Amino acid sequence: MSETTEAATAAERNTSADEAGKAVFSVRNLWKVFGPKAERIPHDESVTGLSQAELREKTGCTAAVRDVSFDVRKGEVFVVMGLSGSGKSTLVRCLTRLIEPTAGTLEFNGDDVIGMDKDRLRELRRHRASMVFQNFGLLPHRTVVDNVAYGLEIQGVGRAERRARAAEMVTKVGLDGLGERRPGQLSGGQQQRVGLARALAVDPEVLLFDEPFSALDPLIRRDMQEEVIRLHSEEGRTMVFITHDLNEALRLGDRIALMRDGQVVQLGTPEEIVANPADEYVRDFVRDVPREQVISVRRAMRPCKKGEADTGAALEPDTLVVDAVEAVARSGEHCRVVENGRTLGVVDNARLLNVVAGLTGEEDGGEQKAVAAV
Ligand SMILES: Nc1ncnc2c1ncn2[C@@H]1O[C@H](COP(=O)(O)OP(=O)(O)OP(=O)(O)O)[C@@H](O)[C@H]1O
Ligand SMILES: [Mg+2]
């Protein structure tokens, strides 16, 4: 992954320089195998290479997570995406050992999660990494405020304080005036906001979302996505977000891990995944994405020809192609891609059209060569 694309992550926008980019979760060679004698599977080379179907046939086991490694960096929205059954829920539940991993290492801020005893695990789940579930998990007989306060109650926070904090969260997620209702008196979207407020109330370092919005209708879903984006940009809280919806992944993710059959087949920024899919599976996944809305001129540009470096309007490297098309049309010539006063390359009509047509990726030039040529 290039340093330049990393520079645009929320981690660096929202956290101090020395904190940004630090791993919150650090996952190495993680496996979760369901089935008889599951623990031998990760270490048995005669079966680790088998497909899911072959593995099931031969051993009766399912490797829901297979040899997965990644870091979730402080301040980022880390999206786990994949089709149904690809292992997303299992992976995220392994992070706080709601599901016990079969093999591999797992750290939270440098602490070994696998080695944690019951008390420390409880502390991890209650204070440091809160989960927002798809089915909201609300208590039907309690009011909204008392549902939101629930996590604080478990922590032993006194009634007055927890109700005050809960009321603050209710406002934060846009439920002002509904605090005394019960969940049954709320719409699906409102219930999901209660779930979100409850997770936020304990002020966790990381929020883990397992397809929280998939039961919501599209308009409310969009609303909730915007809520997450707003909360994230206001607070810079680290988030791990599962979805099988590519548009949701592209909208929310600073980085996306794309899973297939328990493995991470590609990990990168939305732009990297769309511009440069790792294999046919990923290419298929992103086929219908409007590329001009994801790819920036940093990736689309070509080297300057003679004289071009001093002429044409200047664009920031992060300008999306869709906006650059307009700028190029307005200027009637090429535009320069300028960073800190230095021209990195240029984009013109032909170059931008290539992106829209899917002809520009790392393989045909991309950023490195363009920079090298300046
Ligand atoms: N307790 C279990 N016992 C056996 N197999 C399981 C168990 N839980 C999950 N699996 C299997 O592990 C694989 C991954 O399941 P998982 O729930 O993680 O997928 P997912 O990506 O979250 O899917 P979805 O999008 O449908 O929620 C599936 O093949 C599933 O059948
Ligand atoms: Mg799931």
CA distance 54 to 228: 40
Q: Is 51 helix (H, G, I), strand (E, B) or coil?
A: coil
Mean pLDDT for the chain overall: 87
How would residue 355 be classed by pLDDT, with cut points 50, 70 and 90? confident
Give the pLDDT confidence of 139-165 residue by residue, as tens digits: 999 999 999 999 899 888 999 999 999
299, 184: one domain: no
Residue 15 has pLDDT above 70, yes or no: no
Q: Atom of ligand 1 at shortest distance to CA of 86?
A: 21
86, 233: one domain: yes
Q: What is the mean pLDDT of residues 9-31?
A: 70
Residue among 56, 80, 81, 88 to mutate when testing ligand 1 (max atoms within 8 A of CB): 88
Q: How many CB atoms lie within 10 A of CB 372?
A: 8
The total number of structural domains in the chain stands at 2
281, 297: one domain: no
268, 367: one domain: no
Least confident range of 64-73, 165-174, 220-229, 235-244: 220-229
262, 362: one domain: no
Q: What is the mean pLDDT of residues 242-250?
A: 90
Q: Residue 58 belongs to a domain with what CATH number?
A: 3.40.50.300
CA of 211 to the centre of ligand 1 (A): 14
CA distance 138 to 274: 37
How would residue 354 be classed by pLDDT, with cut points 50, 70 and 90? confident
150, 182: one domain: yes
Please give the biggest Cα pair distance in the chain: 73
Residue 186: how many CA atoms within 13 Å on its side-chain side?
29
Give the pLDDT confidence of 102-140 residue by residue, as tens digits: 999 999 999 999 999 999 999 999 889 988 876 667 899
Looking at the chain, the whole-number percentage of residues with pLDDT higher than 70 is: 90
Ligand located closest to 88 CA: 1
Pocket of ligand 1 (CB under 6 A): 34, 62, 64, 82, 84-90, 244
265, 323: one domain: no
pTM of the predicted protein model: 0.84
Q: Residue 358 belongs to a domain with what CATH number?
A: 3.90.1280.20
- Fill in the DSSP letter of residue 319: -
**Structural domain containing residue 268:** 3-285
